Amino acid sequence: MPTGVALRDVREQLFDAAERILLQDGPSALTSRAVTAEAGVAKGVLHRHFTDFDAFLAEFVIDRVGRMDPQAAALRESAGTGAVIDNLTDALAALFASVAVAIVPLVTFRTRLRVLLRRTWPAGVPVLTEAVTIIESYLAAERDLGRLAPGADVETLAPTLIGAAHLLFADRTGPRPERDAVRKMVSTVIGGALH
């Protein structure tokens, strides 16, 4: 690359490369060398922008969690419309179709990454913790609208939905679960709370 020609947003280029590697080959394939090669940049570029590889990974996770905001807004806006079970089914399928599932083993795989992420998330796995908050907010809105029973325990229902969905989607090597399987799980978890 000629001197003086700026790379497009290097951070985003590196994050996109990390996501591709993570989705294709899993967390064990994610190395600084693999990321820079996938991004098509010199090996030293990553270390010019981040303290070390774990700092890069922490920023990558934070960036990808931040991308959940539009999904969260769309789910909250759907409160009061459509069927609650369908809204949740679609939201969970979209969430777990993203890089979210691949981030979970990455975080559990790297101790220093977990330590760095604790500054933002004191407990839990960041993507899943954020997903619980999103689902809980939606369920509370539906309860407030009278579409869930007044006593519906959204603080328990939300993590139950995320945990059950994670189990459905966790196998990266197998086929994705059918929508009907996700819908059945959602129906089973929240069926008793529907009003």
Interior angle at CA 124, CA 175 and CA 84, nearest 5: 60
The pLDDT, as a whole number, for residue 120 is 78
What global pTM score does this model have?
0.81
Angle between helices 126-144 and 84-97 (to 10 degrees): 170
Tokens of 67: 């991308």
Question: What's residue 169's pLDDT?
Answer: 86
Mean pLDDT by 10 residues, the chain (195 residues): 53 94 90 96 92 94 86 92 97 84 83 86 77 95 97 97 91 83 97 93
pLDDT at residue 8, rounded to an integer: 53
Specify whether the backbone of 85 is left (phi greater than 0), alpha (psi in -120 to 50) or beta.
alpha
Within a 13 Å sphere around the CA of 158, how many CA atoms are in the beta-carbon half?
Answer: 19
Q: Return the pLDDT at 191.
A: 94
- Residue 32 is inside which H or E element, if any? helix 32-39
Neighbours of 85 (CB within 10 A): 18
Residues with Cβ within 8 Å of residue 77, at least 6 apart in sequence: none
Q: Give the pLDDT score at 173.
A: 72
Q: What domains are there in the chain, each with its CATH number?
A: 8-49 (1.10.10.60), 65-190 (1.10.357)
CA distances from 175 to 46, 116, 169, 171 (A): 34, 33, 9, 8
